[in-house]
Amino acid sequence: MDLLLQVLANGVLLGGLYALMALGLALVWGVLNIVNLSHGAFIMLGGYATYYLFTGAGIDPFAALPVTAAALFVLGYAIQRGILNLVIRAPMFNTLLITFGLEVVLAYLAQFWFSADFRAINPSYAGANFALGGVTIPSVQVAACAIAIGLTVGMWLFLLHTRLGRGIRAAAQNLVAARLHGVSPRSIYAVTFGLGTALAGVAGGLYGMVSQINPYIGGPLTAKSFVIAIIGGLDNPLGVIVGGLSLGIIESLTSLYVGPTYRDVASFGILVLVLIVRPAGLLGRAA
């Protein structure tokens, strides 16, 4: 029983981080109608940014997250205004090609700049943990999960209760009506993509504290983010939390009872099941 509780706890902590990884992808997909295949590359860059702020500038990894978010926001804003905005009305296949090309370019640039070595963010408290009912809980993973869920809930409140957030929702729901009410699509799209990359950057910084980073982690993380966004639904940020927690628990249980080799098989099996039973996602609105 203790082993099962430990696995479930690990799954919940991992799922919270998964939710933050998927939030930026779901936001961009829901508003711009772009499946951003470079999303995982931005997570990777966020991990490296936090790593070098910690090792090079001596900034605590958690304190470095706002700097990482700001840097990734500027990068995402510039990419959307300079590249993606040119093809925003093009067929989805064109945007898939462009974002895939961005992922490849960013991965090779990261290898050139940072080498292909695995790196991890290990502050002095990296090994701290505490016991809770016979279950060992890593303190860093708890903090990472809490930040991830807090940011996800914060993004939901931002979209509901701020003028900019309402503008983003309006552009996602009815662009023509949003324009009639003074919403500028170019600005909204650039800010949305910037927010998506900023969230990816924070997710990368947290990921680097609980796992290892290298220039090629982007592809698998994009795939996981895609699965979570579909499971949770694109029109409700809280659905991303449900999707992330579900995937984290399913992967942990699969590793325990079947084997770690089958974690990804279970993930995509759940994706297929959700698409068959509830295509709008667990918390998405049915058409």
In terms of residue numbers, what domain contains 141? 13-216
| Measured torsion, CA atoms of residues 257, 247, 100, 272, in degrees rounded to the nearest 10 | 80
74 part of a folded domain = yes
Instruction: Say what the pTM is.
Output: 0.91
8 part of a folded domain = no
Rounded distance, CA 20 to CA 39, Å? Answer: 12
Cβ atoms of residues 38 and 100 within 8 Å: yes
Q: Which two tokens stand for residue 204?
A: 């990368």
Number of domains in the chain: 1
User: What pLDDT was estimated at residue 285?
Assistant: 55
What's the pLDDT tens digit per position in 168-185? 878 777 767 767 677 777
Report CA-CA distances (Å) from 262 to 243, 254, 284: 19, 7, 27
- End-to-end Cα spacing for the chain: 42
Closest CA to 11 of 253, 266, 268: 253
- Positions of the chain with pLDDT under 50: 287
Cβ atoms of residues 228 and 243 within 8 Å: yes
171 part of a folded domain = yes
User: What pLDDT was estimated at residue 287?
Assistant: 47
111 part of a folded domain = yes
Cβ atoms of residues 55 and 123 within 8 Å: no
Cβ density class 108-142: b for 16+ within 10 Å, e for less = eebeeebeeeebebeeeeeeeeeeeeebebbebbb
77 part of a folded domain = yes
253 part of a folded domain = no
114 part of a folded domain = yes
Rounded distance, CA 229 to CA 240, Å? Answer: 6
The most distant pair of C-alpha atoms in the chain lies apart, rounded to whole Å, by: 59
User: What pLDDT was estimated at residue 26?
Assistant: 87
| Measured torsion, CA atoms of residues 130, 136, 139, 142, in degrees rounded to the nearest 10 | -130
User: What pLDDT was estimated at residue 180?
Assistant: 67
Partners of 119 in beta bridges: 213
Cβ density class 149-185: b for 16+ within 10 Å, e for less = bebbeebbebbeeeeebbbbbbbbeebeebeeeebeb
CA 130 to mean position of chain CA atoms:
27
